[in-house]
Amino acid sequence: MINDSFEFSSDDDSDNSPHDMEGNNSDLESGFADMNGVSLNSYGGVTSSAYSQMQIDLDRQHLLGNRNHVVESVIADGLEGLEHQERYERLLHRAQIEDLTEVSGIGCLYQSGVDRLGRPVVVFCGKWFPAHNIDLEKALLYLIKLLDPIVKGDYVIAYFHTLTSTNNYPSLHWLREVYSILPYKYKKNLKAFYIVHPTFWTKMMTWWFTTFMAPAIKAKVHSLPGVEHLYSAISKDQLEIPAYITEYDMTINGLHYFTPMPTQS
Q: Are 193 and 133 members of one domain?
A: yes
**pLDDT for the residue numbered 193:** 96
On whether residue 258 sits in a domain, the answer given is no
Q: Are 79 and 110 members of one domain?
A: no
Q: Residues near 176 by Cβ (< 8 Å), separated by ≥ 6? A: 213
**Nearest by Cα to 127 from 197, 222, 231, 227:** 197
Q: Are 234 and 128 members of one domain?
A: yes
Q: Are 162 and 71 members of one domain?
A: no
- The CATH number of residue 196's host domain is 3.40.525.10
**pLDDT for the residue numbered 259:** 78
Please identify, among 47, 62, 97, the residue that sits at the C-terminal boundary of a domain.
97
Q: Are 120 and 247 members of one domain?
A: yes
Please identify, among 79, 97, 115, the residue that sits at the C-terminal boundary of a domain.
97
On whether residue 17 sits in a domain, the answer given is no
On whether residue 263 sits in a domain, the answer given is no
**pLDDT for the residue numbered 263:** 57
On whether residue 107 sits in a domain, the answer given is yes
Q: Residue 138: give the domain boundaries.
A: 102-253
Distance CA 27, CA 173 (A): 68
State pLDDT tens for residues 128-170: 999 999 999 999 999 999 999 999 999 999 999 999 999 999 9
On whether residue 5 sits in a domain, the answer given is no
Q: Number of structural domains, the chain?
A: 2
Q: In Å, how far are 80, 91, 177, 180 from 85, measured between CA atoms?
A: 9, 10, 14, 11
Please identify, among 81, 97, 113, the residue that sits at the C-terminal boundary of a domain.
97
Q: Are 123 and 235 members of one domain?
A: yes
State pLDDT tens for residues 67-116: 554 445 444 446 667 888 999 999 999 999 999 999 999 999 999 999 99
